[in-house]
Chain A
């Protein structure tokens, strides 16, 4: 037992029981007017059982969630260098504007005359995104990056099938996000892996050799998950197009090049944008995201419904295939997409402007290269720089130490910094992928570099125990994930007691 206090708290570190272990039946934190007497119209389907939900007053509920919140790390609290995840500052102006009653309290099926401002906002957001990417069209409705991947692939497949072309293979580089092969599979494609070359990029020779009349598309991430720009992207796109295949780009790393490079100039046919990465919408502990897909002119007619069109008397919505002049392949989501995230994105883009977005990309790349320069003597760099917005190290520097990448990450927690992405991408051993973003100050970057160097030196000096025992200073120490998966406990049940307190 690690705690010796009566309460289980340790100063400001408050231990909090489950909400189901608190409260009393019949209590509520909401006062409602009476419903009055009436004869119900529920037919034979009325509820007879109670739910089992606990009853708590408002102060109890507020205290519960406040205490939970304090057990979380957050970008507002410190640097969050999760490579590939882009934890940048989330401006509060965006939150304020997304909550305006004239935006948040709109129903998606109101008469169009009562939502002209909302449709204009979607249209303006779409226009900025098309301009920034140099692409012809955009499907706004996908709900997150992986959902955008599926949307892009379905658009490609619909376009191919419209031409009577039944290609069945999608090529995915081995460094790709796991969502890429999963999305291709959900689109009914067979996935084949393309190896990475010695420079951390797609092996163009292997790719070219595999291209053929059965390949529908390649899914390429650029900049890629090793943090490197695919310098043969134009050749890759030309070869794919010559073979009748499309180029899908995973746009998760667009933040490295926004305002400086347009994917449309690289031969990309379709690409999703993670509005919750590049465009500063908060991640919220796992969403909501938003993943609009920009499309080439050839793919545009196959984009899913709904979409906004500009008419003589204002904006209109095309909500069904029957109402469309084009050939939409279907619908990805209920209603019109993640409108609340569009508000945040437009607010961010307007705040940054064309100059600010380009500066953000430059600063993100500059900061990652500053970390590369600061750490390459003490860690082992996987591929020669310069890198783009993130820098990839592997665990060769830990080879003689018995300290693993996992141990190293957990020691960072005791230093009060969220660990970098670990064990991804899969193309190097024990990956440590660091992405500072453009919103860290020089002092913050210097402290991070100093901290990682100090840990690397301690590992090499044989302080193994400190790493194996880390974290010691977090709300919890290492958790037994193996037993948790073997005997999953996924909910509280009445009669459960707080274990082990």
Chain B
């Protein structure tokens, strides 16, 4: 039991100091009927070699992204992570510290979070950002609830281009709160018109850019329509790297940005942990959910950092808090921040252009495949194909041939037969010309 420092002698010494005649004397408040006499029926402790072998055996049954031509996106993306990122986040002082409740001995985490907040504000062109939420989907739900608080209205219009998981998490959060959630038909080609549906009871419109199907557009007119009606515009970004190539939400009039930051610094991890980004217009900061790091001075006049505006939070306000969030995604936020620090403006924009270039090459290549048609007029690093066959079967067949071809839209829209022939494909900097050639050839064979 390599993680337990106490020896049997230590335990006897401690029990004697306490004046207890055995360990069970310390469990005397547990009802006797509930204190287990026997060991729970699970295997006994095991050494590193045994545990490593068991979990490596599970890992070996999976196909990792780097081991196959890989075109899957839909809210999680396979990007290269610089070696320095993981080295630095594994520094014990970052990895094994708690939420920075004692600022004098947590300046490292606090300054990193202040820098993270600034970076998120910079790339989204928003005024301020918080210190992270769980993921993009929960950030989207928090945005909807915050918009209802700010406007004192209860109707939320959700774009049909919103990632179905983000939609479902938002609907789930609203379910017991008496909020009216208005959903939309899937916006496959990016031509949805939402402005006409906004009325005086609308708290916000939630729209994703690039949308779930990959379409990109300027949202300035929609922002104006929202603001004319006293509603907020919430812009969701599920591929944060797109902001290196696309006009940022703040420049299009967004009031709240809810985004997924996994693409920078964080592995896909089969879906989590990821990192939710949340940025707002300055006038809303006291209505924000989540932790905030702020600048302060110490008694010697030296600049330092603290957690601030905590009167919004559950540990002070209890049921009146802006959210119940406590633990967030601190270490994932740090990884995001280190990756963005390494990239800098030039690297961030360059990496975005590289992704877009790969996707353009992919689109031009796949457009030549008989039975495949590109739906999008515009895109960043992901777009939708309409196939001559149901996409799910094609993806499974290609998967068996060692090509991870993308996401059949039917996986996220079950029971929508009209979307069965749609395939979402993404290309990041990790995709080679050879990968693209193999996909095109395999697709041609499958169609």
Contacts and interface: CB of A to CB of B under 8 A. Distances in A.
B404 A107 contact: yes
B224 interface: no
20 contacts: A2-B300, A20-B115, A43-B377, A53-B348, A68-B111, A69-B108, A103-B62, A107-B72, A110-B399, A115-B62, A182-B321, A191-B319, A260-B35, A287-B329, A304-B172, A356-B45, A363-B6, A388-B26, A442-B7, A488-B292
Given A106-B65, A355-B45, A143 B135 contact: yes
Interface string B35-63: 11001111111111011101111111111
Contacts of B98: 80, 82, 85, 87, 283, 285-286, 418
Contacts of A332: 138, 169, 172
A484 B18 contact: no
A271 interface: no
A191 B82 CA distance: 47
B283 to A, nearest CB: 12
Contact of B216 (A42, A80, A189): A42
Interface in B186-239: 209, 216-218
Contacts of B245: 40, 42, 46-47
Interface in B283-298: 285, 291-298
A227 to B, nearest CB: 11
Contacts of B166: 334
B185 interface: no
A117 B42 contact: no
Nearest to B396: A111
Interface string B153-192: 0000000000101101101110111100000000000000
B4 A360 contact: yes
B345 A52 contact: yes
B348 A51 contact: yes
A338 B46 contact: no
Contacts of B92: 69, 74-77
Nearest to B77: A107
A439 B346 contact: no
A107 B268 contact: yes
Contacts of B414: 319-320, 322-323
Given A73-B105, A144-B327, A286-B131, A352 B216 contact: no
Contact of A146 (B76, B145, B304, B324): B324
B341 A29 contact: yes
Nearest to A18: B115
Interface in A468-501: 471, 474-481, 483-485, 488-492, 498-501
A109 B115 contact: no
Contacts of B34: 234, 261-262, 265-266
Nearest to A62: B84
Given A73-B102, A350-B46, A413-B104, A492 B407 contact: no
B372 interface: no
Closest 3 CB pairs of A and B: A335-B271, A284-B331, A330-B172
B95 A97 contact: no
A228 to B, nearest CB: 7
B62 A283 contact: no
Contacts of B328: 144, 286-288
B111 A29 contact: no
Interface string A327-341: 001111111111111
Interface stretch (A369-377, A395-403, A457-465): A369-377
B342 interface: yes
A203 to B, nearest CB: 16
B42 A27 contact: no
B104 A231 contact: no
Contacts of B89: 284
Given A333-B165, A484-B295, 5 more contacts: A95-B95, A116-B62, A188-B178, A261-B35, A290-B273
A147 B93 CA distance: 26
Contacts of A357: 40
A143 B340 CA distance: 24
B442 interface: no
Nearest to A424: B315
A72 B105 contact: yes
Contact of B304 (A1, A274, A372, A476): A476
Contacts of A410: 104
Interface in B1-46: 1-7, 10-11, 13-15, 17-20, 23, 25-31, 33-36, 39-46
A255 interface: no
Given A53-B343, A334-B165, A366-B11, A47 B244 contact: yes
A183 interface: yes
Contact of B1 (A331, A359, A475): A359
B102 A106 contact: no
Query: Does more than half of chain A's interface fall in helix, strand or loop, or is it mixed?
Result: loop
Contacts of A146: 314, 324-327
Nearest to B379: A41
Contacts of A23: 344
Contacts of B318: 178, 181-182, 191
Contacts, number: 760
A38 B361 contact: yes
A424 to B, nearest CB: 7
A480 B76 CA distance: 40
A30 B76 contact: no
Contacts of B297: 479-480, 483, 499-500
A447 to B, nearest CB: 13
A102 B59 contact: yes
Interface string A423-453: 0100000000000001111101000000000
Interface string A274-289: 1010001011111111
A36 interface: yes
B108 A284 contact: no
Contacts of A498: 303
B102 A481 contact: no
A74 B303 contact: no
A288 B399 contact: no
Contact of A501 (B1, B134, B302): B302
A479 B96 contact: no
A184 B270 contact: no
A12 interface: no
B399 to A, nearest CB: 4
Contacts of A16: 111
Interface in B111-146: 111-115, 117-119, 121-123, 125, 127-129, 131-132, 134-138, 145
B2 to A, nearest CB: 8
B31 A74 contact: no
A363 B129 CA distance: 42
B274 A479 contact: no
B172 A331 contact: yes
B178 A114 contact: no
Interface in A98-141: 98-111, 113-118, 120-121, 124, 128, 131-132
Contact of A72 (B40, B94, B127): B94
Contacts of B103: 476, 479, 481
Contacts of B217: 43-45
Nearest to B248: A47
Nearest to B95: A282
B323 A117 contact: no
Interface in A140-177: 143-147, 149-150, 154, 157, 177
A206 interface: no
B369 to A, nearest CB: 18
Contacts of B336: none
B262 to A, nearest CB: 10
Contact of A44 (B59, B218, B272): B218
A266 B29 CA distance: 13
Given A105-B267, A286-B327, A72 B404 contact: no
Nearest to B288: A490
